[in-house]
Structure 1
Amino acid sequence: MPRKTLIGITPDINDIQAPETEYVVRRNYADAVLQARGLPIILPFGADTDAYLNTIDGLLVTGGMFDIDPQLYRQAARMQYVVKPERTAFEKALIEGARRRGMPILGICNGMQLLAVCLGGELVQDIPSEVRGALEHKPTHSATITQHQVEVVSQSRHLQLAAGTAYAVNSVHHQSVLSSDAYDVLAVASDSVIEAIEANDGGFAVGVQWHLEYCASQIDDAFWSGFLGAAREYSSRIR
């Protein structure tokens, strides 16, 4: 029986104090990987990230209701943020290690923002106060409902996306990625907020600002199939 393609998924932790602290990750991240014919593996926080990277075939960095410390992208904080240093340090080490190996990486929401930072980019710290005429990117309704459109603006090196096409997507974020020479912009919203990026060199490293795991948009399958396809290719090359 062929070996399943293993996708490592980064979890969050709740705020219950030890020893009752729990790792938490929404089921739909794992379900989306299973639907794309991968085998999801949750990655508890730990210093030995190489042990994880020696085992998995692709890295999925999930979203979360917190922000990345602006010091990590060479900015001073312009407001008070909720940060999670332990989680961010763990995910950063995984991303950097995966990049060195050429392992496929998919970052969703906060995961896209951290991927951009690891590649050398910076962030818009607060869309409502920094982007003139911004759309509502953090609505109160469920992420199962699409919120605004994005337009594919460039050809991807790894994904089957048609430039010039537009799709309605779900959206739950107040920060976003700034453009950088370190990655290509794949999709933007009509207010210029960057919604998808791809590293412009090396292996598959893609970030998506909306929440692919809900499979609410017609464009989502292109990202899941591209990511899993890249992970299968990576596995066949090194295993």
Structure 2
Amino acid sequence: MVKTPRRPAIGITPDMNDVAAPETEYVLRRNYADAVYQMGGIPFILPYAPDVDAYLESADGVLITGGMFDIDPALYRQQARKAYAMKPPRTAFEKALIEGALQRHMPVLGICNGMQLLAVCLGGQLVQDIPSELANALEHKPGQAATIAHHEISIVSQSRNLIGVEAARYPVNSVHHQAVLPSEAYRTIAAADDGVIEAIESSDGGFAMGVQWHPEYGVSNIDSVVWRGFISAASEYSSKRAWK
């Protein structure tokens, strides 16, 4: 009998609503988990905890999801230029997960706000507000739904993680008002026409990648490549761990 390969376990970070305890709920859009499962992974939600080691011992990859909030500028060595909606408990939890995963060389995929936090953890900084800081910028936070592509990106550097992606233009559904600044800690893989960085990967190797758009909606033919690369890297991590 041919043994079916083990599906890699992918820990996914949820958001949390603002309903007072004990009615507070973790919130996660279904399409994040569905995308992981459909590409061959086993998704499981990671409740916030002060110690992430147990999660990382059980996971083969970590997915840092997006969210409608901002990262504290103090975390990337800046002062806030305006009032921001922040979620310190979530950011602290996700930061610990990213740092722990990077230490273990475990695959990490950051989406939207997750990409920005990955960049910060690697040592980068952010544009705090695209409309007020970048002249002639595209509209990166349109009012239309994420089920529709908003603008195009160009692949500007060959990626070790996006296998088979050509140096071409792709429509994407990015929804954000902050952006990642260039850094030697990561490579810019894709950018919008206004120069805003739309995809990065760690300069140190492995699968530590962020995309500014939302591939969980599957609106672009590059989305499946992102998921395939992530789940493949998690499968490889799982196989190596099984032999230890």
Q: Check if 1:12 corresponds to 2:18.
A: no
Match of 2:134 among 112, 131, 137: 131
Cα deviation, residue 47, structure 1: 1.3
Match of 2:167 among 164, 167, 187: 164
Match of 2:216 among 201, 213, 217: 213
Runs of 4+ in structure 1 off by over 6 angstroms are: none
Match of 2:190 among 168, 187, 192: 187
Q: Check if 1:224 corresponds to 2:224.
A: no
- Structure 1 contact 154–163 (Cα < 8 Å) conserved: no
Cα deviation, residue 161, structure 1: 4.7
CA distance in 1, matches of 2:14, 2:84: 20
The residue number in structure 1 matching 2:26 is 23
CA distance in 1, matches of 2:133, 2:164: 29
- Structure 1 contact 7–41 (Cα < 8 Å) conserved: yes
CA distance in 1, matches of 2:210, 2:5: 29
CA distance in 1, matches of 2:238, 2:36: 16
CA distance in 2, matches of 1:29, 1:225: 14
Name the TM-score, length of structure 2 as normaliser: 0.96
The residue number in structure 1 matching 2:100 is 97
Aligned partner letter, 2:43: P
Q: List aligned pairs for 1:80-95, cutoff 5 A.
A: 80-95=83-98
The residue number in structure 1 matching 2:45 is 42
CA distance in 2, matches of 1:100, 1:131: 34
Aligned partner letter, 2:86: V
Identity of matched residues, %: 66
Match of 1:234 among 224, 230, 237: 237
CA distance in 1, matches of 2:165, 2:18: 42
Aligned partner letter, 1:234: Y
Q: Provide, for residues 109-150 of structure 1, a one-character-per-residue CA deviation record: whole Å limited to 9, x for no partner.
A: 000000000000000000001111011100111100000000
- Structure 2 contact 62–109 (Cα < 8 Å) conserved: yes
Aligned partner letter, 2:93: F
CA distance in 2, matches of 1:102, 1:164: 27
Q: Alignment RMSD, CA only?
A: 0.9
Aligned partner letter, 2:11: G
CA distance in 1, matches of 2:154, 2:227: 18
- Structure 2 contact 174–212 (Cα < 8 Å) conserved: yes
The residue number in structure 2 matching 1:119 is 122
Cα deviation, residue 202, structure 1: 3.3
Aligned partner letter, 1:46: A
Name the TM-score, length of structure 1 as normaliser: 0.98
CA distance in 1, matches of 2:124, 2:5: 39
Match of 2:153 among 150, 153, 170: 150
CA distance in 1, matches of 2:165, 2:234: 22
- Structure 1 contact 127–134 (Cα < 8 Å) conserved: yes
CA distance in 2, matches of 1:204, 1:163: 19
The residue number in structure 2 matching 1:63 is 66
- Structure 2 contact 165–222 (Cα < 8 Å) conserved: no
Q: Which runs of 5 or more residues in structure 1 are unaligned?
A: none
Q: Provide, for residues 66-100 of structure 1, a one-character-per-residue CA deviation record: whole Å limited to 9, x for no partner.
A: 00000000000001001100000000000000000
CA distance in 2, matches of 1:6, 1:82: 31
Q: Which runs of 5 or more residues in structure 2 are unaligned?
A: none
